[in-house]
Amino acid sequence: MTKRTQVLMAFNHAGGAAKTSTVRDVGYDLAQRGFKVLLIDLDPQANLSQWLGQGKAELEESVKNSLEHYTPLPEPTEVHGMSLIPSHLELSYTDMALGGYPNAEGRLRRAVDQLREEGTYDFILLDPPPSLGKLTANAANAADWVIVPIPARYKGIVALRGVQRMLEQYGYTNPNLRIALYVITQMDNTSHAKEAVEVYQEALGDQLAGLITHRPAVYNRCQPEGRPVGAIAADAEAKEEIRLLVDQLLSRIGAGA
């Protein structure tokens, strides 16, 4: 077991990098290893909630009141061996409203720190929007570690410098925030993808993890079924990729299985 609650956020300001599926599948694998895992969906699009079969949550089940009124986090829903605080479309209004509040970017940390003190969870995984608003800033100020999914595409290479620059900015308000891993996602057998990986390897060195293969048949099935990759028994290779990624993650952050 971990010695303390580890809080991780997944972040890439470019959409379509497999940020949400990484949170879902890493969380599930950790739970299968016996860890107590809480997922917090901060993205108003609520993809994480929908992809776990919780797309019809009420607004009060989300982090809205914790962010706006400093209330404790709501009671989570139990799904696939994990706990989930779902999101809601109206969190987009909370994102805008927080700009007029004092301590606009530190409110989630207060609620998360309460969970740390209680010691209920080994891991808390945060899924903020792919944007630089107040919801993402709250996640960055509450987290210990960042997982950065980067697609094996030209757009991932282009976005890499911007991602690193934004993470440096978040480090000014949360000096304890560190990169856990950059995860290569959407890998395929094309020369372009292989060239992208070479660029990442040169730029990132031992911070690089993956590869998570582009598997439309698997990932497109997960979403409507509301199940993580690891819960689909038919694809052993996809599950093994996630398992190896979590092995790397645990090694990187110093948490034992």
Q: Where are the domains of the chain?
A: 6-253
- Per the structure block, which two tokens stand in for 127? 């899924």
Residue with tokens 């950065």: 148
Sign of dihedral through CA atoms 190, 155, 222, 40? positive
Average pLDDT, the chain: 92
Give the ranges where 179-257 is alpha helix by DSSP (H). 191-204, 216-225, 236-253
User: What distance, in Å, lies between the first and last C-alpha atoms of the chain?
Assistant: 6
Task: Catalogue the E-assigned strands of the chain.
Answer: 6-10, 37-41, 77-79, 82-85, 123-127, 145-151, 178-185, 208-209
- Return the CA Rg of the chain: 17
Q: Are 228 and 80 in contact (CB under 8 A)?
A: yes
What residues have CB less than 8 Å from 188, skipping those under 6 apart? Answer: 152, 213, 214
DSSP 129: -
* Cα–Cα distances in angstroms (integers) from residue 54 to residues 11, 40, 71, in the given order: 22, 12, 22
Judge whether residue 2 has pLDDT over 70.
no
CATH number of 6-253: 3.40.50.300
Partner residues linked to 41 by β-bridges: 127
The residue-averaged pLDDT of 70-75 equals 96
The residue-averaged pLDDT of 131-159 equals 91
**Cα–Cα nearest to 37, from 108, 115, 149, 91:** 115
- Report the percentage of the chain scoring pLDDT > 70: 97
How far is the C-alpha of 221 from the C-alpha of 70, rounded, in Å?
38
- Per the structure block, which two tokens stand in for 49? 């909630």
pLDDT recorded at residue 162: 83
How far is the C-alpha of 227 from the C-alpha of 63, rounded, in Å?
23
Partner residues linked to 7 by β-bridges: 124
Position with higher pLDDT, 161 vs 101: 101
How far is the C-alpha of 103 from the C-alpha of 155, rounded, in Å?
34
pLDDT recorded at residue 166: 85
Residue with tokens 């390897």: 201
The residue-averaged pLDDT of 94-103 equals 95
Position with higher pLDDT, 212 vs 163: 212
- Per the structure block, which two tokens stand in for 169? 């900015």
Judge whether residue 221 has pLDDT over 70.
yes
Judge whether residue 81 has pLDDT over 70.
yes
pLDDT band at 256 (very low <50, low <70, confident <90, very high): low
How far is the C-alpha of 221 from the C-alpha of 174, rounded, in Å?
37
Amino acid at 67: L
pLDDT recorded at residue 132: 87
SS3 content of the chain, % helix, strand, coil (to 5): 50, 15, 35
